[in-house]
Every structure is written in structure tokens, then in C-alpha cells.
Structure 1
Amino acid sequence: MPATTSCSLSFDLSSVPVTIKGFTQRRWRVTDLTPGDAGPWCLGLQLLMTERAAYRFNLDSSTPRLFLRAGDSDAPEPRPSAITASQEVAAAWMDGEQRVLEVAMPLAIQAWIEAYLARYGEAPPEGRKKKRQGAGRARELQP
């Protein structure tokens, strides 16, 4: 029987007003994150083989996080559309000017990702690439 590579997570969003240099804006955060589909918002967390190194990096951090793509960064209300455990994917979303919210990863999700990595293996180490002798340099012409 194959291991599950996706799970549903339900959550809610809340905001608090924050004043910075005289301007007030709403800061959004994820609340009530639980496995299942019982909350006001529900998204599927899909684990991908290509992101195994990012999952390990996240799990080895002092506070593992989940990252939620929540629509355009300048939109007044967040519109959750995806969730990931990969900081690299979250960074790509932010580069695309998407709002990204983060939340502490529940222990059950940490254990599930650990089991996924145990089953499918850790990502191969990305060794430092060595340049060939003289590579990247213009050759001197001999007269």
C-alpha cells in the first residue's frame, strides 16, 4: 500500500490592526490549523519528491513552519490558495508578489513528513560543483 503524499488541513484567518510610522494596516495570521477539512478554509498539503531537501531543512529548524499562499500581496483580504512545507516554494511565491502567511507546523504534520522522508529517502546531497581547470577563462592565443 503506498504512503499518503497529501493531507487536508483546515484553518481560519484572523487579523489585528498594526500601526507603522503613522499608517494603520491589518496584519493577517493563520489560526486554528488542524488536520482534516472541518474549518472555514481547507487546503491540501502535497509532498513532492523534488522538495525533500527543503522539508528536511524545515524540520531541522528550531521552529518548523507551514507556508500559506494567500493571494496578491496588495489585496485587502487574503485568499488562501495553496500550502507548503517548503521554504523554497514559499520564497518563489513571494518573488511573484504573493502574500505568504506562515504558521507553526503541528507535531502530527512533522511526524507525517518524517515518515515520508523515511519511506522515500532523503534528497541526494547537492555537492559543490567543481570547475574544470581553466574553465570560464578565455584562452590565450599562441603566436
Structure 2
Amino acid sequence: MNDNLRAISITLVAETKQVNRFSLTQWRIAELALGEQGPVVLQLQLSMTERAAYRFNLTATTPRLFVRAGFSSQTPKPDAITASQDVAAGWMDGEQQVLEAPMPMALQVWIESYLARHGEAPMEMRKKKRKGAGRAKDTPTKEQPQ
């Protein structure tokens, strides 16, 4: 059996919310379970490059799993799952809708053992700089008369 791959079953439900005179349909994960018994089955694959993100997630009060579910304006069609907030943030930057759910304890233990086997990744403390951010501009300034 592959030590970095698990099948996860996901069941989604739609909830209608009333906002003033408008109704809005919001989707959420109703059930998330190990195995291949649900209507949607995705493969959760752990990656060596995401070890620091897994550790960060596991130290949260409630560790979460994130499900990519297609473009934001459409009916969700789950097609990927991750335990990394960094990966989920990348999906959201691409205007994908991301649903989240509490991580089952069995998966927390599995990820812990993965980290124990493969070692902890060093925590990346600095964020990537935007191009040109934090650099002085090379434009001459005129002194103001006093």
C-alpha cells in the first residue's frame, strides 16, 4: 500500500440562505470519511514539499481538510483534496471554490506518522515578496523649498 495516499469519500449538501429578499445556495461538506463508500471519492496524496504546511495544520485547534470543487460561480464538482492550507490558498487564488471540513482523527494520526517517517520540513517564516515590493524606487526627488 502506498504510504502517502488515502481514499476519502465526500458527501456535499446545499443549504439555502435567505439574505434580505434574495436566496443564496451555499454548499458544504456534510460527511467526510476514509474509504471509497461515498458519492465522491478523492485521493488525498501527501507531498514531501508540503510537510511544513501539514505540521502547521496539525497544530491548529481543529485541523482541516480542503476540497477543490470547481469554479466559484458553479455547482461544486470536487476534484482534489489536500491537508495543506498553502495548496488550498493557491486554488482560491485561481478562483476555485474551496470547501473545508474538520480532519478525521485517523488522518491526523496518518499524517503524523508520515512526518515521523520522512522528517519535519523547516518552517518557512518569510513570505514571498511581490515583484518590486519593499524596494526603493530609483526616481530622483526634488527638495521642497522651506
Q: TM-score, normalised by structure 1?
A: 0.84
Distance 1:43 1:62, change over 3 A: same
Distance 2:124 2:101 in 1: 28
Distance 1:18 1:112, change over 3 A: same
How many residue pairs align between the two structures? 129
Q: RMSD between aligned alpha carbons? A: 1.8
Distance 2:13 2:105 in 1: 22
8 Å Cα contact 1:6/1:44 also seen in 2:
yes
Which of 81, 86, 89 is 2:87 aligned to? 89
Distance 2:22 2:46 in 1: 39
Which residue of structure 2 lines up, in the alignment, with residue 109 of structure 1?
107
Query: Which secondary structure does the structure 2 equivalent of 1:126 belong to?
Result: coil
Q: Percent identity?
A: 54
Higher mean displacement: 82-91 or 14-23: 14-23
Runs ≥4 residues deviating over 3 A: 125-128
Name stretches of at least 5 consecutive residues in structure 1 with no aligned partner: 129-135, 139-143
Measured against aligned partners, the alpha-carbon deviations of 1:80-101 in whole angstroms (never above 9, x if no partner) come to: 0000000010011000000100
Which residue of structure 2 lines up, in the alignment, with residue 15 of structure 1?
14
User: How far off its partner does 1:21 sit?
Assistant: 4.0
